[in-house]
Amino acid sequence: MSPPASRSPAASRPMIQVEDLHKTFGDHKVLTGINLTVPAGSTCVILGGSGSGKTVLMKHMIGLLKPDSGKVIIDGEDIVPMGVEALQKVRNTFGMVFQAAALFDSMTVFENVAFPLREHTKDPEDVIRQKVRARLDLMGLKRDVEDRFPADLSGGMRKRVGLARAIVMDPKVVLYDEPTTGLDPITTDYVDEMILAAQRELGVTSVVISHDISSAFNVADQIAFLSKGVIVANGTPEQLRESEHPAVKVFLETWFGKN
C-alpha cells in the first residue's frame, strides 16, 4: 500500500521515520525490521494485538529504548546515536499521554498543566497562566477546574488535564499510548475529539497506540498494523479495512464481530 494522503495541508515532510528497527529482549525478538514514516501534521495509529510491541516501538520514537539496529529519524535527525543531552532537547519537543493520566495528586489542575513550563522554560507567571488557560480551554475544561485536585475529577476530566499538559509546551509530536483504554464510550469519543483538536489547532504530528478500532478509524490519517515484529499493513483506514493480511483480517473481524 502507498502512504496515505493526510487531512492536514502541513503533511509534506516526514516528522518521524523509523528505518529497519530491530529490538530483542534476551532471546525474545520483539521488533524485527520496522519501517514507518509519519508525515508532519498527520496522525498515525499503531494497531496490533496485546504484546505485539506497540509500546516498545513508541518508546524508541522518544529514545526511551535504544534499538539493536536501525534508525529513528525525528524531524530529519537520527536520535539513536544521541547522548542524554541531545535526546532531552528532542524530548522537550514531544508530548506524551499514557494510559494512566499520571497527574501529580498533590498539585492542582493548574499546577499540573503548568509543570512542564516551570521545569523547562523561563516563562514569566503571566505567560504561564495564559498558556495553561489556552490549553485547558482547548480541552474544553472550564476555569473552575483550575484549582481542583486530580482526585476530585472524573476519569474523563483527568484524561483531558493530561492531554492539556502534554500539549502545553507546543510539542511538534504527541505520543499517545492507549489513551482510551478503560474509558467509557462517551469519554472515548471525547478523547478522540481532543486528539483531533490538537492536530487541527496546533498542527501536531500524533502517534496513537490503540486496540480500539473505532477510535483508530476516528482519528487516523494512517494506520500501521504491527504483527510478529513488523508492520504488515500500512495505509488509510479504508485501505486497512481492505487488507488481505490474515492477522489484520482476524483482528478486524474479531472487533466488528463483537461490536
Q: Applying CB under 5 A, which residues contact Mg ion? A: 54-55
6 binds, among ligand ADP, Mg ion, none (CB under 5 to 8 A by kind): none
72 binds, among Mg ion, ligand ADP, none (CB under 5 to 8 A by kind): none
Please identify, using beta-carbon distances, which residue of 55 and 234 lies nearer to Mg ion.
55
CA distance 133 to 164: 9
Please identify, using beta-carbon distances, which residue of 136 and 174 lies nearer to Mg ion.
174
Question: Strand, helix or coil at 206?
Answer: strand
Q: How far is the CB of 53 from ligand ADP (least distance, A)?
A: 4
**Burial state string for 7-21 with b = 16 or more CB within 10 A and e = fewer than 16:** ebeebeebbbbbbeb
Q: How far is the CB of 6 from ligand ADP (least distance, A)?
A: 24
Please identify, using beta-carbon distances, which residue of 55 and 236 lies nearer to Mg ion.
55
Cell match 500500500: residue? Answer: 1
> Which one-letter amino acid corresponds to residue 90?
V
Which alpha helices (H) appear in 103-245, and where do they start and end?
109-120, 125-138, 155-166, 185-202, 213-219, 237-241
Please identify, using beta-carbon distances, which residue of 25 and 256 lies nearer to ligand ADP.
25
Q: How far is the CB of 158 from Mg ion (least distance, A)?
A: 20
Please identify, using beta-carbon distances, which residue of 11 and 97 lies nearer to Mg ion.
97
CA distance 51 to 54: 7
Cα–Cα nearest to 76, from 155, 20, 149, 13? 13
CA distance 245 to 247: 6
DSSP state letter for 242: T
145 binds, among Mg ion, ligand ADP, none (CB under 5 to 8 A by kind): none
Residue number with the smallest Cβ distance to Mg ion: 55
* Contacting residues toward ligand ADP, per CB under 6 A: 25, 30, 48, 50-56
Q: How far is the CB of 179 from ligand ADP (least distance, A)?
A: 13
First-residue to last-residue Cα distance in the chain: 27
DSSP state letter for 13: S
Q: How far is the CB of 23 from ligand ADP (least distance, A)?
A: 8
Please identify, using beta-carbon distances, which residue of 26 and 51 lies nearer to Mg ion.
51
CA distance 171 to 216: 21
Helices (H) and strands (E) in the chain, counts: 9, 10
Q: How far is the CB of 47 from ligand ADP (least distance, A)?
A: 10
